Amino acid sequence: MAQLFDRRHGCGEVPGFDRPRGGPYAKALFQRAFAALQSSPLSVMTVRPLVILPDPVLRQKSEPVTTITDEIRVLARDMIETMYDAPGVGLAAIQIGVAKRVVTIDTNKEEEARDPTVFINPEIVWASEELRVYDEGCLSIPEFYGEVERPDRVKVRYMNLDGETVEKEADGLLATCLQHEIDHLNGVLFIDHLSKLKRDRVIKKFAKAAKRDAA
C-alpha cells in the first residue's frame, strides 16, 4: 500500500507478516514479462518525481490501458524503479503524473529478493466481509500515517504485461495495498477514509508547505 505505504507503515513492513504468494503460474507469467522488460532496448530505468498533496493531479481518475505498448512497459519499469527509490511498496501511475490505470506493488521485506508485480487495469471483483485495520501512509503524503479499515481479503482481476487477464486472491497486507492503490486510480486518497477533522488538518498542513516551497 504505500510509502505507499512506506516500508514501515501500512502497506509497508509489518513484523511477523508473511506475504501472500500467488500461484506458480501467475508468478511465472510476471517473471517472464519482467525479464523481457529488462532485456529490451528500453531497459534503462528512470526515477520519476512524485506528485505530492495538495496537487490536484492526485484527484484525477485514471484511464484504462487498452493496449500494452512500449510506452506502458517503460511506465511500468519506471514506476518500479521509483517505488524502490522512495522507498515504498506500492505506487500508482497517477502518483508520477500519469493518468493510466497501472499499479506496481512489492510487499517483500527489505532483506528479501525483490518481487514486483505490475497490475494493469486492476479491479476488485470480490471483497470479504471481514475487515482489518492498517496504519497506512502514502508516498504522495509523506510522513503522515493514519489507521484505515478495509476488507481483509480481496480478489483482483487485472492485465499483466503480456496482455493476459489474471485473477489474484490476496489477504492481509497485500490486500490492503491493492485497495489503497486502486483508490489512487479513482482519485481517492487514504486520508479520505479518515475523519473530516484529520483530513482537513493534513490537507491544510500540506497546502501551507506547498505555498512555502513556492515562495
C-alpha cell at 167: 485473477
How much of the chain is helix, strand and coil, in % rounded to 5?
A: 35, 25, 40
CB 14 within 8 Å of CB 140: no
107 closest CA partner among 10, 208, 206: 10
Q: Which of 13, 81, 136, 181 is catalytic?
A: 181
141 closest CA partner among 3, 30, 1: 3
89 closest CA partner among 170, 185, 3, 22: 3
Verify whether residue 181 is a known catalytic residue. Answer: yes
**Cβ atoms within 10 Å of 26's Cβ, excluding its own:** 16
CB 181 within 8 Å of CB 91: yes
CB 178 within 8 Å of CB 2: no
Q: Cα dihedral angle (26, 162, 10, 194), rounded to 10 degrees? A: -120
For 16: left if phi > 0, alpha if psi spans -120 to 50, otherwise beta; the answer is left
C-alpha cell at 146: 493514519
- For the annotated catalytic residues, the residue numbers are 181
